Amino acid sequence: MEAQRLLSGFCSTPPIQNTKTQVFVKFPLSSSSSSSSASFAQSQKWVSFKACPSISQSALSGKVFQCRNSGERIEFLAYDKEDLRSGIRRKKLAVFVSGGGSNFRSIHEACLRGSIHGDIVVVVTSKQGCGGADYARDKGLPVILFPKRKLEADGISPADLVATLRSFEVDFVLLAGYLKLIPAELIQAYPRSILNIHPSLLPAFGGKGNYGMKVHKAVIASGARYTGPTIHFVDEHYDTGRILAQRVVPVLAKDTAEELAARVLREEHRIYVEVITALCEDRVIWREDGVPIIRSKENPNEYS
């Protein structure tokens, strides 16, 4: 169990919930330097050691280790047994938030309990002090400010945002109450891989400026009898990307905007987790006409 020894020797902090770890080690070229006492810092023939800094040996229980030799580099790959059984790689997720982040929290909790076959590896926020960003920091998740703000020096450019997400090996980007327009650079870098949730049945009550309580007030004022959350892929415009899933919520005769918002939000939490679960299990299929549909897990011949 050389990989376990290496991890326990370099990672002494408490375990995290991540379920897959990669350790990259380049062994010394000469046999004389193969002593177990050799360290990475003492030999120029070692390359960098890559591992999550907060994984302890207790976090490795139930793991299956594979050793892959690539030239002079040997890679120890630690997988959950579930990963090997399913044959589906756990996905790495980036979540974008601007507000309280209730959808972000529900997604994170679903990842922790295993409902979603993926892990949130980075959070992007347009407001450093928003509730979603505070929650991410409390959970030890990296937080990035985007876009740049005049009064804050920590913001990054669109090109740097793409590079940063690439460095985290992000598979999918999930917008959870993010109020800024996604830059074209990111959309081009992650085609068919960016999801957003909107609190109305798009294409109704969408577009720039239609968010939060404004949407629910507009729905009630219109006399619409039904509303509900929509999950759609993101394009270069507000709320115009291909629709992936919707959930209908009735508008009651004496609803206030706050009452309607609360019922829609409950459905948002459910449907977003369900859709992300399907996404991470490779069950989102694109029809020939460019419309995305979800394959049933129980019956692969059924779609929604």
The CA angle 7-11-15, to the nearest 5 degrees, is 100
230 closest CA partner among 249, 218, 209, 244: 244
What Å distances lie between residue 112 and 20, 55, 140, 145, CA to CA? 13, 15, 13, 24
pLDDT above 60 (res 138): yes
Q: Residue 179: which residues within 8 A CB-CB, separation 6 or more?
A: 98, 99, 126, 211
Range of the domain at 257: 91-278
Q: Which long-range contacts (CB under 8 A, 24 or more apart) does 40-45 make?
A: none
DSSP secondary structure letter of residue 223: T
- Mean predicted confidence (pLDDT) in 162-171: 97
Q: How far apart are CA 128 and CA 154, in angstroms?
A: 9
The catalytic residue among 198, 216, 232, 269 is 198
Q: Considering the domain boundaries, does residue 156 fall inside one?
A: yes
Q: Which tokens is 175 given?
A: 């917008």
How do residues 63-74 score in pLDDT, each as one tens digit? Answer: 444 444 445 444
Q: Considering the domain boundaries, does residue 47 fall inside one?
A: no
Q: Considering the domain boundaries, does residue 48 fall inside one?
A: no
pLDDT for the residue numbered 86: 62
- The CATH number covering residue 126 comes to 3.40.50.170
Q: Considering the domain boundaries, does residue 164 fall inside one?
A: yes
Q: Considering the domain boundaries, does residue 11 fall inside one?
A: no
Q: Residue 34: which residues within 8 A CB-CB, separation 6 or more?
A: 27, 28
pLDDT above 90 (res 142): yes
How do residues 264-294 score in pLDDT, each as one tens digit? Answer: 999 999 999 999 999 999 999 999 999 999 9
How many domains does the chain divide into? 1
Our answer to whether residue 198 is catalytic in this structure is yes
- Mean predicted confidence (pLDDT) in 211-229: 97
Q: Considering the domain boundaries, does residue 30 fall inside one?
A: no
Q: How far apart are CA 20 and CA 84, in angstroms?
A: 11
